[in-house]
Amino acid sequence: MINSFLTYKIKNKKDQDLSLEDIQKAEKVLFSLFTRYGDTIIDLVVIKEFVEKYPTKDYLILCPKQMKPYSDEFLPKIKCIGINKRNYLDMIKLNFYLKKWSPDIGFNPWSFGVESSFFLSYCKIFQFYRNFNKPQSVNHYDVVRKYFRLPKKIWKIKNQIMDLEFKKVLICPESTDNERSISIDQIAKIIDDFKLNIDDSILTIASINSKYHHSNCNNFYFKKTEKSSRNFIILVQESDLIISADSAPLHVAHALNKNVMAVFNSTSPELVINSGSKVTFYTQ
């Protein structure tokens, strides 16, 4: 029902290519982030670069409620409103707020859903991400930079020096794409290869699927709630090492400047990891 209503509201809305001059002149900028978990983290990292380039503008980020803790963590000075589009009272309140605030320009990076486009329609000038001429084989962070008219970065990463004395180790094996996920056998081999002794280290496995959970490890259950997101941020901050598949926790760990071991089973690091990140790649 709500998607049909939002689709109807934007069917005649026309977007346009945003020029660099449009961005420079804008005083109020809206970011509408309604996309996958990992893509939202990428968006927030590049939005931070945008804000650093244009520090005097007035900003607002809209996102699902479960993603608000990440925005608050990475961009604590930027106003963020967490939305449940099925909560009609929240939507009515936001409608009045956006009309009064009257944003000049709007972006919805990596977002293809109707809700992200609907919120952009409150802007004087906007470009739907779905109509943006996206390069096919470019680093995911640089795609967002291009959409924001920010300069592309030369991809270069720093080798992370591994310390075998890590005491708190967080393993994030899951991806929405099963081919990217770390298998149970791989987890066992990683623990063995890096001498992560369960008796000497505090190991935590964070996942949705209970098949990854281990009786001798702490187990963190991912949920689509603000509380779960806040708790996961704390868990990452308190961990000495994060071992992650090509998935959202990898981007969270890098954004929080943690020690990271990345496991790439089917994708290319050059397309996924942000330039300048410190990382060790696990190879079998």
213 pLDDT tier (thresholds 50, 70, 90): confident
How would you classify the pairing of strands 105-107 and 241-245? unpaired
Based on C-alpha coordinates, what's the Rg of the chain?
20
- Which of 16-20, 24-28, 146-150 has the least mean pLDDT? 16-20
Within 8 A by CB and 6+ apart from 144, the residues are: 42, 43, 46, 109, 110
Does 131 score more than 80 pLDDT? yes
| pLDDT mean over 134-152 | 91
Q: How confident is the model at residue 212 (pLDDT cuts 50, 70, 90)?
A: confident
Residue 260 lies in a domain: yes
One domain for residues 35 and 111: yes
DSSP letters, 193-232, are HTT--TTTSEEEEEESSGGG--TTSEEEE--SSHHHHHHH
Give the tens place of pLDDT for each residue, 152-198: 998 888 776 666 578 899 999 999 888 999 998 888 888 777 666 55
Pair (62, 102) in one structural domain? yes
Total tally of structural domains belonging to the chain: 2
Residues 117, 10 share a domain: yes
- Residue 59 sits in a domain whose CATH number is 3.40.50.2000
**Same-domain check for residues 78 and 174:** no
Find the domain containing 143 and state its range.
2-147
57-114: pLDDT as tens digits: 999 999 999 999 999 999 999 999 999 988 888 989 999 999 999 999 999 999 998 9
